[in-house]
A and B are shown apart, each in its own frame.
Chain A
Amino acid sequence: MSTKDGIYYREGIPVPETPVEDGQPKFWEKTDIVGKPIARVDGYERVSGTARYPSDILLPGMLYAAVLRCPHPHARVKSIDTGDAEKLEGVKAIITAESQAVKGVTWKYRDTEVALIDPHCRFEGEVVAAVAADTWYRASDAIKAIKVEYEVLSYVVDHQQAENSSVNVAEEGNLLSDDEYSRGDVQKGFSEADVVLESDYATACELHTPLELHGCVTNWERDRLTVWESSQGVFGAQSRLAESLGMPLSKVRVTGHYMGGGFGSKLWPGKYTVLCALLARKSARPVKLLLSREETFLCVGNRPPNTMYLKAGATKKGRLTALEFDCAGPSGAFSAGGAQLVDWLIRDLYLCDNVSTRSKDLLINAGPARPFRAPGHPQGAWALEQMVDDLAYKIGMDPVEFRLRNIPEQSQARKGIPYTTTGLRLCLEKGAEEFAWQSSLAAVRQFNNANTHIKRGVGVAACLWIVGDGGPPSTVIMKLYRDGSVNLNMGASDIGTGTKTVMAQVAAEELGVHPSVIQIENADTATTQFATPSGGSKTVPTEAPTVRNAAIALKRELLRMAADDLEVGVEGLSYVGDEIVVRQNQSQKVKVTEISGLQKRGEVIGVGYRGPNIKGKVTTPFAAQFCEVEVNLRTGETKILRFLGAHDSGRVLNRATFDNQVYGGIVMGIGFGLTENRQLDGSQTGKLCNKNWHDYKLPTALDVPVRTASLPIEIDDPEANNTGAKGLGEPVTIPTAAALANALFMATGVRFTRAPVMPFDIVDQLSKQQKG
């Protein structure tokens, strides 16, 4: 079978029409490739070991770098002596605050600009020095040989103490912001309620720790810098680097075709990226700098711990009348959104006329936060979804039913802008049906009556994620080769979500080619087009319509050329399979690959831009998750029997990668709810106690549910964007922990308001309950 035969998968079947100039592409009513669970286009590379991740890069003469970090939560570097380190075998360059190399080089923690190496270290893990040596081991030796004299300062690492602490993390004090929101009149709302409940909640600090270590390889060719960075966004990394080093963008090239996970911690580069470039320049050699695993627990971001208070009122008919919410959290040592978006679900998820929230962001002497998969939302869900359950029980109503009585059609937090579509009701209804919610309640009751110390429980939680519509800017270029195969050029990183595959499907759908003949170039600031970092669940809704626009632009160009060849007006032409035909006279046609313009030029390109989002409406993904747990009351061990994620993210572009996101998000939520907790030694040293995967516990193969199911709730959303897809990567992990907490309550009778809920917490609470 020749390449040509394999390219066109729909012989003689009309390919979606190209719209007239400036028109909107037609909504795909039926798709042939989009939506199918096709295998990843780069699956071969990932399983064969041939995919080159940034940490895999090897260059001639390459050195290895290591960073010396402050071991104290708060200290000032008084003196630094690199004499011994300089004498070590194989050490080629050392940089400290006093080095010429860092003079004038700054770094931005969000809006706070600091010296790249600042003698005032505000957190354990702040940079003090960096070395490059010819082996990784020797770089590590050199770090240990650097003698530093610290003036150890007092610290504060508990955000609840930070506001009134005598220790100032920054000169301006520790309270960064104290924001309020309100609508309606909560006091009136409470007075109208038949039942009012209140509770405190708390969630722990969570660390991203993706499998691939943070790091990069940098190489200079005179004044041109090339960087291979494990990154969620090469263009973001490029601009940060160029800014720090004072270089034009055209002299900084960042590539990151593959990357081993980020979850928000690699949305932008780190001081290590700049240090690596400086070491490379100083030593005149390429340098590989990978953070050690311990360092990734200290200095590349976290989900802040949050303390929350929620008071809620409802009528006995199950309608919410008032929500009052207070939360606080630490940014870490620099402003980074310590309480960011924690209150969003309280503002927007359920119908409620009277809402007031207060959010406090505080500084502490610990690593600055970075956005972590759905910032703020799992924390807010932890409080809200448990409270909603408690209200339901109080009035004797089923928790699913209670939620169904409070479904908004509009974004109340945005003053009533309608959602383009909302699947919240369907997620709850269809999810409950698929999960067999009603019969499960009966089965659980029966099981618990028959058992003494093994109990079961089922739980539900719902959510939305603040953004689902993506948006400009983005540019994609699609190139048709002379033989009809395709090159797709886009800047977006594939962070593991299957972006490349999904985009190939969109291109294949629009062009009528087979995904296997689409060559993809991505994530290279020099050779691919601009894209914003892959995060915020905006990659699919941003890039997929852009890819479609590029394909349409390409087809427009081909239609124009065909019109010349056939000597007819372009309006009279249709794309049909691999040919362009005259609608009125189907025998008058030309094969796409035989269009003279394409043959002469050897290629035709189409440039697609991401257009603006619809005005006056907002696109948001919704979800409901259900779970069943089994708890051993004596040991506190929890076994998760099953989990179901019912997700409204608009059109499913690839069923396999969609489901995989649901499974993965649920695993991450299990970590947030049951196993993960960054622990700082508040009372003695302020240092991080668990900076390894032995003590900071990620869910393993033995912790995940026996069975996880994904139920996509697909609603046609032509207003979302021209593919109808909404973001998915974050909603999948928002309600998970809350659903678990609700199930645990049913199993144990204990309301666990502090996350994570570890076995000893369960046993501890149960014994307290017995005594009390």
Chain B
Amino acid sequence: MRRSLPIGLHIPGDTVLHRLSPGPKLSALMVLSIAIVASPGPIVPVIAFVLAVIVARWVGISRRALIDTLRPLALVMAVAVSYQLWAQGWPKAVEVLATVLGLVVAASIVTATTAMDEMLDAIVRWLGPFRRFGVNPDVVALTFSLMLTSIPTVFTIFGETRDAAVARGMGRSPRATLSPAAVRVVAHAYSTGDALHARGITDPECD
């Protein structure tokens, strides 16, 4: 079986971060993101990345899981870093690399230390005042959690489709991978919708 990505996966533990409610963690993630992006030069992003990796290991994310989380970014980062290296030199290339990787690892720390149930409760609580404007907090919270859980599923689908293309001798054909993968992702979205519908999770309250 293809290994699934650990993004969005809660890792039980008893660290301070596990005990903290989702609000402060998401706020801290937002502040960190702004600080990293706003700071000039590579020093702050590199420090943030190193610290994020240390914290990730401390909260229980394995080295293997970290690599699995970052591996899908390899191609995009290779292109981005090469371009920055050519256009603006190595400090900018390092800054871009450390910024992206640091933020991904930091986001993984939040999801690893927060059970999805807690996240849903927090979102429902935050959006409660917006009910009067027609917002359904339960649906928004569910959408958020589905977005997180869909990431590994989409990667799995792309991996399986690529394997199927390779098995048919079309491993180098983007068409043989991308089109069927896109169709399967849409089909998965439909079946997820059916599953939610069948469980009545998005239905209005009724007795």
A binds B: no
Interface of B with A (CB < 8 Å)?
A: none
Interface of A with B (CB < 8 Å)?
A: none
